[in-house]
């Protein structure tokens, strides 16, 4: 058996390690549609010009994104630019707004970037999106928050 050239070995190791190193620096973009969304509505979410998942009211999913600028679009709505840093968490709320004007009913999909505190009240009762609704490998197949211990909060007494 002929030994592999050193360049082949180096390339193979690089191909194996690069995704692992990139995953450590990945930012988490949490995209969700609150229960108050239109009933029976579905929003297809695109990330950097590629469809990644479909949302229904009461669902969320997580995109593992490399640090930098990314473009998110809900349906045919207005694009939203999201800036990510290594190991950060970004929360994006999707919604559908219906406007009635002289030309009839217009359905507009919107995305809003929120702080973790703002998103927390919405996310408490949401369910992770079904794997059947995930179209891209950048989206986690399972809920990455399911292994976190519940956070207990207490009221601070005011004196």
Contacts of 102 (CB under 8 A, 6+ apart): none
Contacts of 83 (CB under 8 A, 6+ apart): 68, 69
pLDDT of residue 20: 39
What does the pLDDT profile of the chain (159 residues) look like in tens digits? 555 455 444 334 433 334 434 456 899 999 999 988 666 678 999 999 999 999 999 999 999 999 999 999 998 888 999 999 999 999 999 987 778 888 888 878 889 999 999 998 889 889 999 999 999 999 999 999 887 655 666 676 555
pLDDT of residue 15: 39
| Cα 19 to Cα 66: distance, rounded to the nearest angstrom | 11
| Closest by Cα among 142, 144, 147 to 129 | 142
pLDDT of residue 78: 86
| Cα 126 to Cα 118: distance, rounded to the nearest angstrom | 14
């Amino acid at each position: 058996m002929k030994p592999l050239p050193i360049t082949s070995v180096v390339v193979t190791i690089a191909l194996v390690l690069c995704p692992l190193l990139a995953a450590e620096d990945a930012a988490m973009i949490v995209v969700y549609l609150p229960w108050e969304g239109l009933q029976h509505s579905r929003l297809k979410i695109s990330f950097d010009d590629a469809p990644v998942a479909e949302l229904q009211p009461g669902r969320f999913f997580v995109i593992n994104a490399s640090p930098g600028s990314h473009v998110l679009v809900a349906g045919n709505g207005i694009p939203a630019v999201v800036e990510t840093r290594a190991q950060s968490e970004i929360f994006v709320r999707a919604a559908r707004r219906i406007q009635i004007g002289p030309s009839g009913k217009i359905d507009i999909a919107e995305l809003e970037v929120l702080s973790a505190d703002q998103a927390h009240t919405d996310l408490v009762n949401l369910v992770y999106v079904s794997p059947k609704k995930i179209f891209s490998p950048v989206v986690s197949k399972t809920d990455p928050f399911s292994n976190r211990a519940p956070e207990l909060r207490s009221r601070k007494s005011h004196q």
